[in-house]
Chain A
Amino acid sequence: MERFQALIHSNAPFRLEVIVIVLSTFARRGVACAGVAASCLLARPAFAQAPQQPAPSTQQADPQQIRQELDRLRQEFEAIRDSYGARLTALEAKLGTSAPAQVAPAQPAAVPAQPPADAPAVAQPPAAAPEPAVTPTPQEPTTPLPAYNPATSKVFNPDMAVIGNFLGAVGKNDVVSTPALRLDEAEATFQAIVDPYARADFFMSFSPEGVDVEEGFLTLTSLPGGLLAKVGKMKEQFGKVNTMHPHSLSWTDKPLVMTNLLGGDEGMADSGISLSRLIINPLFFLEATGEVFAGSAGPFAAHDRGDVSWLGRLRGYRDLTEGTNLDVGTSFAYGHNELGPSFRTRLVGVDATFRYRPLQRAIYKRFLARTELIWSDREQPPVSGGDQASFGYYASADYQFARRWFSGVRFDSSDRAEDSTLRDKAVSGVVTFWPSEFSQVRGQLRHTRYAGGVTANELLFQFLFSIGAHGAHTF
């Protein structure tokens, strides 16, 4: 016990830790030690009288040693202080000299002098920090930061962006009525590399219905065998439109076939595991994807843990010329529907996209034609009409006719999944204006003829705007 007290007294900075250790040690030894523990708890007053308290063997022989120890500590402290002082002055000097050099004025003529050409200068790491509070960090010129990490203090923060999707509607629609004006969605994205083996992407959707994790998945990038795995909640790789976020569509709405056959506006997005592989061949790009999901998204409903849904997709792509290419895919999905454990839904889809974008005029002109055909096979009890085999498709074309202007048309036709005798049809014309890469305004005229003869003529409009990290362009 004295030994512990001596420790406590002689080594003040560590006393709390020691007390903890002591306590835990004694706790293990049982009740007999309670008194000891109590005395340890009183270590504070004991410490106050430390110099007087005779701590036998050690302290008596020690004044000499303690003095030596003190001297040693003082020397160490002084050494540390000196070295920090020197470093500080060096840093100040560096800041003093580099501050004028870091100011890169708009006029290229006034650009800072750099070392001669034969001694490649290390680039000045980016000094720009979006937050004014962050002072430009003094950089070690020998270890330049990668270009996309503007401030060291935020180096591990994910890339963040928020995309606002504001929708408006004019006209009458008795079947699907949307509000005149609404901020349909604010999508927040967080994306970063997790570790050397994976990256993570989160897309949170804030909408009038509430907050939802639209997608949130881990991508394992370093698997052997050319495999790419995704784990989490994600958009199922069924065709094209189902995999896209609302802001990357060419329209303000989704084609009817998506809402009729793929389960409403949300589409198919579920928790699951996705595995895809490149099939290397000399002719074209070929990718095979296999996925398994919990089974409760889109047209599927799991009644049991075993009611998972399955998905397979094969995608081929080939450049026809430098500026044109063809992208075709076929998808298959299978799962249980909401009617009960013995009722299943099968989906088959075929999609084709033709693109034209002349390389030298890529920012002014492009054309994209796309179609998706989807067959749905839905088991239903005879009371609700028996099994339904429904079919639907859309065909669309988008044309960019000026640097900031796009136009497009789309034809929709789709049976309803629950009743294949009911077919909805629509035709839309779209004009989009891009003030910049980060915002766009869109108008869409839509004529819909719902099954049963109800028609709707609407003007839909949309403002899309994005702040934060520069997202990738969609393809």
Chain B
Amino acid sequence: MKKYITLAFLAAMLTGGNAFAAIKVVTTTQDLESITNEIGGDKVTVDSLARGYQDPHFVEPKPTFILKLHAAELLIAVGRELEIGWLPPLVNQARNTRIAPNGDRYLDASLTAKILEIPSGQITRAMGDVHPAGNPHYWLGPDNGRRIAQAIQKKLSEISPSDAAYFAQRYADFDRRLAEAEKRWQAAMAPYKGVKVVTYHRSWPNFTDAFGLNVIGYVEPKPGIPPSPSHTLELIQEMKRQNVKIIIIEPYFDSKTPNSIARETGAQVIVLAPSVGGVKEVTDYFKLFDYDVNLVVNAIKQTGAK
């Protein structure tokens, strides 16, 4: 009896697996996970390695990630050296060459995106943790969400040509909803074009660019270098001079220095979600901007920032 149940169970597992045959996608961040879900629908299963409230530069290369990558049929990475400290050793041990860079099941989502802050001329590490290939936080511009989605649609259609129409239809739907949402976000931010802000890390150029905020300084003296007293004093003076009232930080940074800067300058510290999953409410790519735009607008209203 037991044997039959086991057999039946096995058979169900096997046929079930075949019937679904969802493409197993692994993404490095939850933003890519969300967009992949938008495009792939029920033809994919998506798993993200990093969580949205984690600093994506410093993810621990845990062996459990090796297992996920081993089984992955597609790896989608942010690229631009965001994951350079942790993804390469994982991919090297995954025993899955197709998902290695230049493999046919690897997608660098940045290749078709609009990348800002590509350094020109000589760069050295005296400039801090610079990204020679440009700012990797590009998903924070909604227009790049569309570009990422299109790249994913193309890749998924390549993997499963029979579902190409399905992916195309889902992309068109995502595109339409994103265009509507963008109108909403732009309308909310329209009165505040040119408002001056300070951010902790250089995570937000695509966001501030999309919504017309003016970043006049950073809490970090240089990318990846923690705040120093002298830089903090300079920043406070500059903020006072320019009357800056908003400090944007990521949930994974210590808020001590930003808070003391805020006390000195009468500014408000807002912890934006840098990624899907950055805070509990932000469960998809649309809610990411809903949440952030809402926080920024409220803070500007409260502080009367200009």
User: Footprint of B on A, CB under 8 Å?
Assistant: 102-104, 106-109, 111, 114, 117-118, 120-124, 126-128, 130, 132, 136, 144, 146-148, 150, 193, 196-197, 199, 219, 221-223, 226-228, 278, 280, 285, 287, 315, 317-319, 322, 325, 327, 355, 357, 359-364, 403-404, 436-438, 467, 470-473, 475
Say how far A340's CB is from chain B's closest CB, in angstroms.
39
Chain B 112-139: CB-based contact to A (< 8 A → 1; otherwise 0):
1111111111111100110011100000
Chain B 42-77: CB-based contact to A (< 8 A → 1; otherwise 0):
000000000101110011111110110010000000
Say how far A69's CB is from chain B's closest CB, in angstroms.
46
Contact A280 B133, beta carbon cutoff 8 Å: no
Q: Which 6 A-B pairs have the closest CB atoms?
A: A108-B205, A117-B143, A120-B147, A126-B133, A147-B133, A285-B63
A105 CA to B122 CA, complexed, in Å: 13
B161: interface (CB < 8 Å):
no
B8: interface (CB < 8 Å):
no
Say how far A155's CB is from chain B's closest CB, in angstroms.
12
Say how far A405's CB is from chain B's closest CB, in angstroms.
11
Q: Which of B81, B129, B253 contacts A147 (CB 8 A)?
A: B81
Chain B 92-120: CB-based contact to A (< 8 A → 1; otherwise 0):
11010100111000001011111111111
Q: Which of A136, A327, A403, A473 contacts B63 (CB 8 A)?
A: A327
A117 — nearest CB in chain B belongs to which residue?
A: B143
Contact A104 B117, beta carbon cutoff 8 Å: yes
Which B residues, 145 to 170, have Cβ-Cβ distances below 8 Å to chain A? 146-147, 150-151
- Known contacts A104-B120, A472-B85, A473-B61; A123/B205 CB under 8 A: no
Interface of B: prevailing SS:
loop
Cβ contacts A to B, 17 pairs, < 8 Å: A102-B120, A118-B175, A126-B132, A126-B133, A127-B119, A128-B118, A128-B119, A144-B111, A146-B102, A150-B132, A193-B102, A197-B97, A219-B92, A325-B62, A362-B60, A403-B254, A472-B85
User: Footprint of A on B, CB under 8 Å?
Assistant: 51, 53-55, 58-64, 66-67, 70, 79-81, 84-86, 88-89, 92-93, 95, 97, 100-102, 108, 110-125, 128-129, 132-134, 143, 146-147, 150-151, 175, 204-206, 208-209, 214-215, 224-226, 251-254
- Known contacts A118-B146, A403-B226; A362/B70 CB under 8 A: no
Of B58, B88, B114, chain A has the most CB atoms within 10 Å of the CB of B114
Query: What residues of chain A lie closer than 8 Å to B81, measured between beta carbons?
Result: 147-148, 470
A322 CA to B62 CA, complexed, in Å: 11
Say how far B54's CB is from chain A's closest CB, in angstroms.
5
Say how far A199's CB is from chain B's closest CB, in angstroms.
7
A117 CA to B146 CA, complexed, in Å: 8
- Known contacts A146-B108, A219-B92, A319-B64; A362/B58 CB under 8 A: yes
Q: Which of A146, A315, A361 contacts B252 (CB 8 A)?
A: A361
Say how far B81's CB is from chain A's closest CB, in angstroms.
6
Q: Which of A111, A130, A322 contacts B123 (CB 8 A)?
A: A130
Contact A123 B115, beta carbon cutoff 8 Å: yes
Query: What residues of chain A lie closer than 8 Å to B63, measured between beta carbons?
Result: 285, 287, 315, 317, 327
Say how far B229's CB is from chain A's closest CB, in angstroms.
14
A362 CA to B60 CA, complexed, in Å: 9
Query: What residues of chain A lie closer than 8 Å to B120, measured between beta carbons?
Result: 102-104, 127-128, 136
- Known contacts A108-B215, A196-B97, A360-B53; A123/B111 CB under 8 A: yes
Say how far A290's CB is from chain B's closest CB, in angstroms.
15
Query: What residues of chain B lie closer than 8 Å to A118, measured between beta carbons?
Result: 146, 175
Contact B53 A102, beta carbon cutoff 8 Å: no
Say how far A436's CB is from chain B's closest CB, in angstroms.
7
Query: What residues of chain A lie closer than 8 Å to B134, measured between beta carbons?
Result: 104, 123-124, 126, 147
Of A122, A132, A322, A467, chain B has the most CB atoms within 10 Å of the CB of A122
- Known contacts A228-B93, A472-B86; A438/B116 CB under 8 A: no
A297 CA to B252 CA, complexed, in Å: 45
Contact B224 A226, beta carbon cutoff 8 Å: no
- Known contacts A147-B108, A221-B100, A278-B95; A319/B62 CB under 8 A: yes
Say how far A441's CB is from chain B's closest CB, in angstroms.
16
Query: What residues of chain A lie closer than 8 Å to B114, measured between beta carbons?
Result: 114, 121, 123
Q: Which of B58, B95, B204, B206 contacts A221 (CB 8 A)?
A: B95
Query: What residues of chain B lie closer than 8 Å to A227, measured between beta carbons?
Result: 95
A104 CA to B214 CA, complexed, in Å: 16
**11 other A-B residue contacts (CB within 8 Å) besides A104-B118, A121-B114:** A102-B120, A120-B146, A121-B147, A146-B108, A193-B102, A196-B97, A227-B95, A280-B70, A317-B64, A403-B226, A437-B129
Query: What residues of chain A lie closer than 8 Å to B128, measured between beta carbons?
Result: 436
Contact A285 B251, beta carbon cutoff 8 Å: no
Query: What residues of chain A lie closer than 8 Å to B151, measured between beta carbons?
Result: 120
Query: What residues of chain A lie closer than 8 Å to B67, measured between beta carbons?
Result: 278, 280, 285
A318 CA to B205 CA, complexed, in Å: 38
Query: What residues of chain B lie closer than 8 Å to A315, measured between beta carbons?
Result: 63
Contact B112 A121, beta carbon cutoff 8 Å: yes
Say how far B203's CB is from chain A's closest CB, in angstroms.
11
Query: What residues of chain B lie closer than 8 Å to A322, measured between beta carbons?
Result: 51
A359 CA to B112 CA, complexed, in Å: 30
Query: What residues of chain A lie closer than 8 Å to B147, measured between beta carbons?
Result: 117, 120-121
Say how far A353's CB is from chain B's closest CB, in angstroms.
11
Say how far B205's CB is from chain A's closest CB, in angstroms.
4
